[in-house]
Amino acid sequence: MSVNLQTPIDYLKGVGSSRADLLRKELGIHTFQDLINLFPNRYIDRTRYYKINELQQTNAEVQVIGKITGFKEVAQKRGKRLVATFQDDTGTMELVWFRGQKWIRESLKANKPYVAFGKCNAFGNKFSMAHPDLELMEAHEKNIRSAMQPVYPSTEKLSNRGISNRVLCKIMQQLFIDSGGKFAETLPENMRSELHLISKSSALFNVHFPKSSELLSKAQFRLKFEELFYIQLQLIIKNLVHKSKIKGLPFTKVGDYFNTFFREQLPFDLTGAQKRVLKEIRADLGSNAQMNRLLQGDVGSGKTIVAFMSMLMALDNGFQACLMAPTEILSAQHFNGLQELCKPLNISISLLTSSSKTSERRKIHESLENGELQILIGTHALLEDKVKFKNLGLAIVDEQHRFGVAQRSKLWRKGPTSPPQSSRREEAKKVLQKYMTARPSTYKLLKELQSENKKKSTQAEQILWESLRGKKLDLKFRRQHIIDEFIVDFICIEKNLIIEVDGGYHNTIEQKEADDLRTKILNEIGFKVIRFTNEQITGDIDNVLDYIEKQLKSLPSGEIREASIPPHILVMTATPIPRTLAMSVYGDLDISIIDELPPGRKAIKTVHRFDKNRLNVFRFIRDEMDKGRQIYIVYPLIQESEKMDYKDLMDGYDSIARDFPMPKYQISIVHGQMKPADKEFEMQRFIKGETQIMVATTVIEVGVNVPNASVMIIESAERFGLSQLHQLRGRVGRGAEQSYCILMTGHQLSADSKTRMETMVQTNDGFEIAEVDLRLRGPGDIMGTQQSGVLNLKIADIIKDNDILKHARHQAKNLLKTDPKLALPENQVVLNTYKQLTRFKNIWNYIS
Ligand code: ADP
Ligand code: MG
């Protein structure tokens, strides 16, 4: 017997409507299919029996064999509880009930062996089990139970309202009984045999009712693979569709700006990785599809120059470019750096942030719109609606994770707009003119027909015409208007809407075909066509007019611009995401990686010091400053407004000022509560070398570039996450000198903090650090992935099942390579499953 898996869960025996409601609300289970995809979190080993003296406070379920030797009732605040003494040959424990006491007391037999199953809690030196599952030993032995009993995800509400794990198991069993355990296969035969995957039916059976641990792992492997395979398939298809459907601005040539810069002004040789990435970008820009690329590169790997040279490609093709950075400081620094490079090339470049003056702003808006301004750098101020480009060809976003996906897509809409609809009308006119010159004789004929038609208009046409003119639509209609080779009945030119009235003779098949063709051609030129029959108009003209009014409302008027061709997008991040995770999270982006630092860099030496060693640390930085180096001291500021953190920073500043007194030592301080101008002033003093020490909060985390700074001291380093620590460390090691990073912490460290410090000391490799970070925090916390929903996997785990993910991606890629349309008969099963999954969007909530 087979069941339709799309059947609502209400129809499963033993569920009913109130349980169904709970299942929907609490677990998102709507259909049989959802239920079957509710996979156990874990399995309880029911082969093991505990002795009472073996019990431990682990909060796990255990089973104990013993006898009830007595009952007592204990009064408590509200009502009373029933307590049974449960005994085996090693000791005693308590079984406790808060409800149903009368019935329980009557049904349980004293001094008979029972198996008690449940969670154990210790109170004093005694263990107790509340509301245990109790089964007489006799019955227990007769039961065939699987060695591994599934434990399903649950919620408090579910268990309070009577859907316990046992009930879930029962419901699941019912589904297997009803379906005869037969479920349609979802992976092709050849793939299954190649990867030794068990069948879908067997996998589902064994994941819910494992016959053995070996079969369980086979079942899990198969289901994890399937889940990841279809996600990868979807991501790859999405990427392919994106490439074929989203038109990009064709950057056909490499021109003067790029070549001159490359030949005459490039301040250093590009690293191999930089060259490779530039080639990848160049290929994207030259294709007809929109570039949507993520550029990953460790701090200091030289992403900026790659960004700049990409912008030159845009300029060479007559387009504008912009670069958006997350902070004022960083965008100012980009601006200052790039301005230098632009000067000799005569490229106009401006900076726009929220603190730009109004007059300046106005100038920028103007020169952007008329195309004089070629490059715009700035913060998210670039996203404001007032900022309109004449023809934005490339948008670059630095430090992607600080901007949401929504902001990325906002940039899309800043591309050059295709001609507004009013000039579609021009197009239509041109077509018309062309038509007149090409076939003047027919045009004459059309003209004659036109006036003829006007004279001979039907009653229906007459009614409609009067109504259209009488109705206060604020829109003008014409009748018997010539468009291309057609005479249309009514037209509203402002909205490009055509209304046709079909007389009796429109009923023949040939005429219908001709009408369709005519509609198609008119659509192509940019008109919407609606049709009415004579009867509709004479029958209920008000209804017809309402309909027309609705259509007019829904249509953009001629002033509204058409969808734009999106600019190419390059997203740069220094927070490396392990490649596999990136593939899953940013599946719609192509990925480039700069995995090579510019030559001559000395690896930063990182050490971990406890606060009590501060004197030594200060001695060390004094030596460094005497050698002419500069120092960063960074304090955590989890929230820029947190008073405590602010106090830490000020206290720190005071103590440093005491140890390094003026005038010999000059200290800058920068934090989030300062005005942007003051921040900038202090930053500039440090950049120019007027101050030797920069005391700061994490505002300097991103992008600041002071090659002479050689020591980074991170205070309360245990409070920073790994990727943040790595980012901060990247502020030093930018010059030729040996650089140092000193992690200061208190003595008491959690295991995770210890691991973070050790990792930082051991490696400078951002990708390695990202992997550790991912392991420590789990994928949900990784920047930018929270909202993506891609990690809401049903059975697979993106980190633990990384190897399976790789297999799955490989298979998906190969499959699409050999059979891009999934047209081969053996891949029919893939096509069907894919269609189903995308139709019933239960696991496909990816970022778009
Ligand atoms: P990030 O990738 O962190 O943005 P930057 O682009 O700021 O790195 O580059 C860091 C420093 O390295 C800059 O001072 C830059 O001029 C320099 N740099 C970049 N590429 C090279 C190279 N190929 N050779 C030498 N120095 C380079
Ligand atoms: Mg940078």
Rounded to the nearest 5°, which phi and psi values hold at 639?
A: -125, 130
Q: Cα 414 vs. chain centroid, distance in angstroms? A: 21
Which ligand is nearest to the Cα of residue 734, counting in written order?
A: 1
Which ligand is nearest to the Cα of residue 307, counting in written order?
A: 1
Q: Whose CA is nearest to atom 20 of ligand 1?
A: 302
Q: Which atom of ligand 1 is nearest to the CA of 305?
A: 6
> Which pLDDT score is estimated for 527?
80
If one residue of 305, 397, 700, 732 were mutated to test the ligand 1 pocket, choosing by the most ligand atoms within 8 A of its CB, it would be 305
Do 231 and 843 contact (CB within 8 A), yes or no? yes
Q: Is 31 in the pocket of ligand 1 (CB under 6 A)?
A: no
Interior CA angle at 628 toward 624 and 630, to 5°? 70
Indicate if 145 and 266 belong to the same structural domain: no
Indicate if 367 and 464 belong to the same structural domain: no
> Which pLDDT score is estimated for 447?
67
Residue 479 structural domain: 422-554
If one residue of 268, 275, 704 were mutated to test the ligand 1 pocket, choosing by the most ligand atoms within 8 A of its CB, it would be 268
- Which helix (H) or strand (E) is 176 found in, with range? helix 165-179
Q: Does residue 139 come out as left (phi exceeding 0), alpha (psi in the -120 to 50 range) or beta?
A: alpha
> Which pLDDT score is estimated for 422?
42
Do 422 and 559 contact (CB within 8 A), yes or no? yes
> Which pLDDT score is estimated for 484?
59
| CATH code, domain carrying 100 | 2.40.50.140
Give the strand pairing for 320-324 and 605-610: unpaired
Length of the chain: 848
Q: Is 271 in the pocket of ligand 1 (CB under 6 A)?
A: yes
Do 788 and 585 contact (CB within 8 A), yes or no? yes
Q: Which residue, 734, 763, 792, sits at the end of a domain?
A: 763
Which residues lie below 8 Å from residue 297, measured CB to CB, with a gap of 6+? 273, 277, 303, 572, 574, 593, 594, 595
Q: Is 301 in the pocket of ligand 1 (CB under 6 A)?
A: yes
Looking at the domain assignment, is residue 717 inside a domain? yes
Indicate if 462 and 493 belong to the same structural domain: yes
Q: Is 574 in the pocket of ligand 1 (CB under 6 A)?
A: yes
Output the furthest CA–CA distance in the chain (Å, rounded): 112
Q: Which residue has the tokens 């790859």?
A: 236
| CATH code, domain carrying 525 | 3.40.960.10
Looking at the domain assignment, is residue 184 inside a domain? no
Averaged in consecutive runs of 10 residues, what is the pLDDT profile of the chain (848 residues)?
A: 82 91 91 92 83 82 92 87 94 90 87 91 86 87 71 83 85 92 93 96 94 91 94 81 71 91 94 96 89 86 95 95 87 92 96 92 94 94 87 86 54 54 48 45 61 78 86 77 76 85 68 72 76 87 87 67 68 74 66 87 92 92 94 78 70 90 90 82 90 84 76 93 87 87 93 93 87 73 43 76 86 91 91 76 31
Looking at the domain assignment, is residue 820 inside a domain? no
Centre of ligand 1 to C-alpha 703, Å, is: 11
Indicate if 405 and 458 belong to the same structural domain: no
Do 233 and 836 contact (CB within 8 A), yes or no? no
Do 496 and 526 contact (CB within 8 A), yes or no? yes
Interior CA angle at 350 toward 296 and 562, to 5°? 75
Q: Is 302 in the pocket of ligand 1 (CB under 6 A)?
A: yes
Indicate if 547 and 488 belong to the same structural domain: yes
Which residues lie below 8 Å from residue 826, measured CB to CB, with a gap of 6+? 188, 189, 190
Q: Is 270 in the pocket of ligand 1 (CB under 6 A)?
A: yes
Looking at the domain assignment, is residue 585 inside a domain? no
Q: Is 321 in the pocket of ligand 1 (CB under 6 A)?
A: no
Which ligand is nearest to the Cα of residue 729, counting in written order?
A: 1
Which ligand is nearest to the Cα of residue 727, counting in written order?
A: 1
Beta bridge partners of 378: 324, 352
| CATH code, domain carrying 348 | 3.40.50.300
Indicate if 482 and 546 belong to the same structural domain: yes
Quote the number of domains for the chain.
4
> Which pLDDT score is estimated for 801?
83
Looking at the domain assignment, is residue 580 inside a domain? no
Centre of ligand 1 to C-alpha 35, Å, is: 53
Centre of ligand 1 to C-alpha 336, Å, is: 15
Indicate if 752 and 624 belong to the same structural domain: yes
Q: Is 150 in the pocket of ligand 1 (CB under 6 A)?
A: no
Burial of 676 (0-12, 13-18, 19+ CB in 10 A): middle
Q: Is 733 in the pocket of ligand 1 (CB under 6 A)?
A: no
Indicate if 756 and 628 belong to the same structural domain: yes
Centre of ligand 1 to C-alpha 150, Å, is: 54
SS in 3 state form for 313-363?
HHHHCCCEEEEECCCHHHHHHHHHHHHHHHHHHCCCEEEECCCCCHHHHHH
Q: Is 274 in the pocket of ligand 1 (CB under 6 A)?
A: yes
Which ligand is nearest to the Cα of residue 399, counting in written order?
A: 2
Q: Which atom of ligand 1 is nearest to the CA of 730?
A: 3
- Sequence-ordered strand ranges (E) for 689-784: 693-696, 709-714, 740-745
- Sequence-ordered strand ranges (E) for 403-527: 478-483, 486-492, 497-502
Q: Whose CA is nearest to atom 17 of ligand 1?
A: 302
Centre of ligand 2 to C-alpha 406, Å, is: 22
Do 811 and 191 contact (CB within 8 A), yes or no? yes
Q: Which atom of ligand 1 is nearest to the CA of 270?
A: 23
CA-atom Rg of the chain in angstroms: 36
Which residues lie below 8 Å from residue 780, measured CB to CB, with a gap of 6+? 786, 791
Indicate if 411 and 453 belong to the same structural domain: no
Which residues lie below 8 Å from residue 416, measured CB to CB, with a gap of 6+? 249, 319, 389, 390, 391, 392, 393, 564, 565
Q: Which residue has the tokens 């001159």?
A: 260
Which residues lie below 8 Å from residue 69, measured CB to CB, with a gap of 6+? 85, 86, 87, 92, 110, 111
Centre of ligand 2 to C-alpha 314, Å, is: 20
Indicate if 163 and 53 belong to the same structural domain: yes
Cα 641 to Cα 187: distance, rounded to the nearest angstrom: 54
Q: Is 303 in the pocket of ligand 1 (CB under 6 A)?
A: yes
Looking at the domain assignment, is residue 806 inside a domain? no
Do 566 and 394 contact (CB within 8 A), yes or no? no
Centre of ligand 2 to C-alpha 771, Å, is: 21
> For 72, how many CA atoms within 13 A lie in the half-sphere containing its CB?
6
> Which pLDDT score is estimated for 436?
45
Looking at the domain assignment, is residue 664 inside a domain? yes
Indicate if 643 and 687 belong to the same structural domain: yes
Q: Whose CA is nearest to atom 9 of ligand 1?
A: 302
Centre of ligand 2 to C-alpha 508, Å, is: 68
C-alpha to C-alpha distances, 695 to 141, 331, 635, nearest whole angstrom: 71, 21, 8
3-state secondary structure of 713: strand
C-alpha to C-alpha distances, 313 to 15, 219, 243, 252, nearest whole angstrom: 63, 52, 20, 9
If one residue of 301, 333, 726 were mutated to test the ligand 1 pocket, choosing by the most ligand atoms within 8 A of its CB, it would be 301
Q: Is 356 in the pocket of ligand 1 (CB under 6 A)?
A: no
Q: Which residue has the tokens 């809690």?
A: 121
Looking at the domain assignment, is residue 503 inside a domain? yes
Q: Which atom of ligand 1 is nearest to the CA of 299?
A: 3
Q: Is 268 in the pocket of ligand 1 (CB under 6 A)?
A: yes
Indicate if 403 and 428 belong to the same structural domain: no
Q: Whose CA is nearest to atom 23 of ligand 1?
A: 270
Q: Which atom of ligand 1 is nearest to the CA of 301?
A: 2
Q: Which of 322, 333, 341 is nearest to 261 (CA)?
A: 341
Which residues lie below 8 Å from residue 467, measured CB to CB, with a gap of 6+? 541, 544, 545
Q: Is 708 in the pocket of ligand 1 (CB under 6 A)?
A: no
Q: Whose CA is nearest to atom 4 of ligand 1?
A: 303
Is the overall model pTM greater than 0.75, yes or no?
Answer: no
Centre of ligand 1 to C-alpha 304, Å, is: 7
